[in-house]
Amino acid sequence: MKKTLFDKIWDSHVVESIPNGPDILYIDKHLIHEVTSPQAFNELKERNIPVFRPDQIVATADHNTPTINQHLPVKDLLSRKQLKELSQNCEENNITLYGLGHSYNGIVHVMAPELGITQPGMTIVCGDSHTSTHGAFGTIAFGIGTSQVTQVFASQCLLVEKPKKLRVNVNGKLKNGVLPKDVILYIISKLGTNSGTGYFCEYAGNVFEEMSMEGRMTVCNMSIEMGARGGLIAPDQTTIDYVEGREFAPKGAELDKMKAHWETLKTDEAAEFDQEYSFEAEDIEPMITYGTNPGMGIKLTGSIPVEGNKSDSKALAYMDFKPGEILLEKPINYIFIGSCTNSRIEDFRVAASYIKGKKKAENVNALIVPGSQQVATQIKEEGLDKVFEEAGFTLRQPGCSACLAMNDDKIPEGEYCVSTSNRNFEGRQGPGSRTILASPLTAAATAISGKISDYTQNLN
Amino acid sequence: MEKFIQLTDTVVPLDAENVDTDQIIPARFLKATDKEGFGENLFRDWRFDKNGKPNEDFVLNQNKYSGSILLAGNNFGCGSSREHAAWAIKAYGFKAVVSSYFADIFKGNALNNGVLPVQVSPKFLHKLFTSVEIDSNEKFSIDLEKQMIRIESSGDAEHFDIDPYKKTCLINGYDDIDFLTSKLEAIKNYEQKRSGKQAVPQETL
């Protein structure tokens, strides 16, 4: 039988299939962080169950960490306690932790790929819905709840029903200024936030083939925003070039062996999908969202749809927008470039290249938060920090930051923030905050003009 | 885990679609390291204003509605994987959530905590909302064994789907950890078999 990329990886990880029930799926890598793991460790302790495969678990601190003065004790007592528990739990169970201040520390979905922990063909889980990010390498990667974190601790396996298969094809040539973030926001705006529920999504077509690994991660990251548990892209030379040479990537003869395996990881030609959608690259323009879910997106120069139901009206009331309104020229006081969606070096390069030689508008607070210590170092090495500084942007230390505002990085009530993060839910960036999702280029351009503007005319 | 077999109770109708887990439990309440106290902050920013005063318009603050069944619009529980959302719903006192669609991760989290997600057709969901609108004391009856949900006054009923394995777990109060830890030998065998093969990822850490 012809198999999809997803089938190939899934089937090779099934320990046992329960008749009329789920599969026991073996997990290669389990990533954990401070917020969704403590209750899982507690449960293990209560039930006197040991961690089965500690060597296959990697921990980082990211969700709840401050982005300034990371060398000092964390001020927020609850956050400090959560971080301390993570350290203790990792120590007691022999789990590798890259905690605050470690040179490998960072947002879990940024640090694991850049360390070569994420490799094609693996199964990867984490108690975080954006685990779908790792699918960019041709892995089956998905977010899990804390009960499932406990299950993986106890058995290195999960009981899961095999999802259905979806493929999204985008072919053609992207317009100037259209970034991977715009591509995925466009797809979600067309398909809706629950179109992917029950599916794993493969992205195919020359647009994804020509994307960098950073771009592919941005796309796969937001698969969950259309409801898909995960997204994946077949590994190719771009993938191998990215993985090769990284800290924990296979090396020498081992690498050659793995490369031969990775090359087999693609969907067979006549393999069938349960659902398939195709889009033309030429139709995609820079995107922004206007509502309170990521499916409520329009092109930068577009107008808010007039038709809508009760929930749409509620969203517009929250955002203080009107049906039919055009968002161009809307004054914006906050921008955020960061999060597991857009905090990799390429994101900061693209922002810096637009910003260079310009100054942010006076009304704007512009927050730049790298995804990891390694990205922070790269920003300095490439001199991007000077570009941001001279333009009046604030560059912070790595973490999830204003994407979910668990720390002090919050957008004030009633304020709009053009944000490169992944969710525009009510209050996501702080109580009463209003999020407009966009690419790093749109966020950078908004910071310079102080309002939403069509920057595509100014691009080279 | 608590068993779930049958439930007949009044209903709290939350007529909103795409209710995301950030609304169910905002991120700022995720700093706890245990499972206690989440019920107080369920739907925090819809339930209370910024000064902590209850918002009278919100359904959880309306005396006429009570009960252990939450009725919600399409695509309930989308967004983050936080199981705190399921803990908050359970701690508040809900035992079942009824919607025409559930996000995958939330659905799994609810089931792992003995909260039953009941997925009905959009048409039946509309009927359910109408029945509660007409009479706030309306009761729904949910029978997990028969996989049926019924409106008590009219007798209108619909069958709902549930994974047979999960159904058995709920009815008996089992959880997945019991099952998986009973399978460790098979898992070790799988690991051994796999490490003998060339073309599979090896441990790299």
Model pLDDT for residues A389-401, shown as the tens digit of each residue: 999 999 999 999 9
- Shortest Cα distance from B78 to chain A (angstroms)? 7
Q: How would residue A21 be classed by pLDDT, with cut points 50, 70 and 90?
A: confident
Greatest pairwise CA separation for chain A in angstroms: 64
Residue A267: what are its φ and ψ, rounded to 5°?
-70, 130
The pLDDT tens digits for A116-171 are 999 999 999 999 999 999 999 999 999 999 999 999 999 999 999 999 999 999 99
Structure tokens at A325: 């309104």
As a whole number of angstroms, the distance between CA A66 and CA A78 comes to 12
The shortest CB-CB distance from B163 to any of A158, A161, A258 is to: A161
CB contact under 8 A, B184 and A55: no
> Does B73 sit within 8 Å of A311, measured CB to CB?
yes
Task: Average the pLDDT over A13-31 and give the result.
Answer: 95
Q: Can you give the C-alpha Rg of chain B in angstroms?
A: 20
Percent of chain A with pLDDT over 70: 100
Element (H, E) at A324: none
Number of residues in chain A = 460
Is some CB atom of chain A closer than 8 A to the CB atom of B86? yes
Are A74 and A65 a contacting pair, CB within 8 Å? yes
Q: What letter represents residue B157's amino acid?
A: A
Question: Taking CB atoms and an 8 Å limit, are B202 and A254 in contact across chains?
Answer: yes
Q: Which residues of B touch A250 (CB under 8 A)?
A: 202, 204
What is the distance between the alpha carbons of residues A90 and A55, in angstroms, rounded to a whole number? Answer: 11
How many Cα neighbours within 13 Å face the side chain of A57? 29
* Residues in A touching B75 (Cβ below 8 Å): 193-194, 197, 227
Question: Which residues of B, range 93-152, sit inside 8 Å of A by Cβ?
Answer: 101-105, 108-109, 112-113
Contact A320, A213 (CB under 8 A): no
CA distance to partner chain A, nearest, from residue B61 (Å): 19
Tokens of B86: 């399921």
Q: What is the H or E stretch that residue B60 is in?
A: none
pLDDT in tens, chain B (205 residues): 778 889 999 999 999 999 999 999 999 999 999 999 999 999 999 999 999 999 999 999 999 999 999 999 999 999 999 999 999 999 999 999 999 999 999 999 999 999 999 999 999 999 999 999 999 999 999 999 999 999 999 999 999 999 999 999 999 988 899 999 999 999 999 999 998 754 444 444 4
Q: Domain A289-453 adopts which CATH fold?
A: Aconitase; domain 3 (3.30.499)
Average pLDDT, chain A: 97
Spatial neighbors of B189 by CB under 8 A, at least 6 apart, are none
**B6-175 topology per CATH:** Aconitase; domain 4 (3.20.19)
Specify the 3-state DSSP secondary structure of A375.
Answer: helix
The pLDDT score that the predictor gives to residue A1 is 84
Mean predicted confidence (pLDDT) in A40-50: 97
Q: What SS3 class is residue B126?
A: helix
Please report which helix (H) or strand (E) contains residue A289, including its range: strand A287-289
Each residue's pLDDT tens digit, A299-356: 999 999 999 899 999 999 999 999 999 999 999 999 999 999 999 999 999 999 999 9
Question: Across residues A251-273, what is the average pLDDT?
Answer: 96
**Any chain A CB within 8 A of the CB of B175?**
yes
Given a contact cutoff of 8 angstroms between Cβ atoms, the answer to whether A405 and A433 are in contact is yes
Is the CB of B179 inside 8 Å of chain A's CB atoms? Answer: yes
CA A390 to mean position of chain CA atoms: 28
User: Pick from B78, B106, B72, B69: which is nearest to B22 by CA?
Assistant: B78
**Residue A458's pLDDT is what?**
80
Residue B180 to residue A423, Cβ atoms within 8 A = no
Which runs of E-coded beta strand occur in A205-256?
A: 230-232
Q: With beta carbons less than 8 A apart as the criterion, state whether A145 and B110 touch.
A: no
Burial class (CB in 10 A: 0-12, 13-18, 19+), B159: exposed
pLDDT band at residue A460, thresholds of 50, 70 and 90?
Answer: low
Mean pLDDT of A204-232: 97
CB burial string B129-155: b at 16+ within 10 A, e below = bebbeeebebbbbbebeeeebbbbeee
DSSP state, A304? -
The model's pLDDT over B163-177, given as tens digits with 9 standing for 90+, comes to 999 999 999 988 899
- Among the partner residues B26, B33, B201, nearest to A122 by beta-carbon distance: B201
Task: Name A203's bridge partners.
Answer: A168
pLDDT score recorded for residue B202: 43
**CATH 3.30.499.10 in chain A, residues?**
5-275, 289-453
- Residue A168 three-state SS: strand
Please give the model's pTM, rounded to 2 decimal places.
0.96
* Distant-in-sequence contacts of B182-190, Cβ < 8 A, 24+ apart: B183/A15, B183/A16, B183/A24, B183/A155, B183/A157, B184/A52, B184/A155, B186/A15, B186/A16, B186/A24, B187/A15, B187/A24, B187/A26, B187/A52, B187/A155, B187/A156, B187/A157, B190/A15, B190/A26
Instruction: Assign A207 a pLDDT band (cuts: 50, 70, 90).
Output: very high
- Close Cβ partners of A290 (under 8 Å, ≥ 6 residues apart): A296, A297, A298, A304, A316, A319, A321, A325, A327, A436
Q: What are the distances in angstroms from CA B151 to CA A90, A356, B10, B68, B73?
A: 50, 64, 10, 15, 17
**C-beta of residue A103 within 8 angstroms of C-beta of residue A109:** no
Looking up tokens 């020509």, which residue turns up? A210
**Is the pLDDT at A78 greater than 70, yes or no?**
yes
Number of Cβ within a 10 Å radius of residue A117: 24
Amino acid at B106: F
Give the tens place of pLDDT for each residue, A412-434.
Answer: 999 999 999 999 999 999 999 99
Answer whether A423's CB lies under 8 Å from B20's CB.
yes
State the pLDDT at residue B5: 87
In this structure, what token pair is assigned to residue A366? 């512009």
Chain A CB within 8 Å of residue B199 CB: yes
Helices (H) and strands (E) in chain B, counts: 8, 7
How many Å separate Cα A430 from the centre of its chain? Answer: 19
- Counting beta carbons within 10 angstroms of the beta carbon of residue A161, is it exposed (0 to 12), middle (13 to 18) or buried (19 or more)? middle
The pLDDT score that the predictor gives to residue B205 is: 42
Rounded to whole angstroms, the Cα distance separating A145 from A436 reads: 27
Mutation target among A159, A161, A246, A409 for the B interface, most CBs of B within 10 A: A159
Is the CB of A145 less than 8 angstroms away from the CB of B198? no
Q: Nearest Cα to B30, choosing from A113, A145, A94, A107? A: A145
Q: Which of B82, B199, B205 sits opposite A117 (nearest CB)?
A: B205
Q: Looking at beta carbons, which residues of chain B come within 8 Å of A340?
A: none
Pair A418, A335: CB distance under 8 Å: yes
Angstroms from B150 CA to nearest CA on chain A: 26
The tokens for B61 are 């603050």
Q: Which 8-state DSSP code applies to residue A279? A: E
Tell me the CATH number for domain A5-275: 3.30.499.10
- A75-96 in b/e burial notation, b at 16+ Cβ within 10 A? ebebbebbbebbeebbeebebe
* DSSP assignment letter at A294: T
Number of other CB atoms surrounding residue A123 within 10 Å: 22
Q: Do B18 and A311 touch (CB under 8 A)?
A: yes
How many Cα atoms occupy the beta-carbon half-sphere of A210 within 13 Å? 12
Q: The tokens 């094809």 sit on which residue? A: A169
Contact partners, residue A92, CB within 8 Å, separation at least 6: none
CB atoms within 10 A of CB A460: 5
Residue A445 token pair: 């351009």
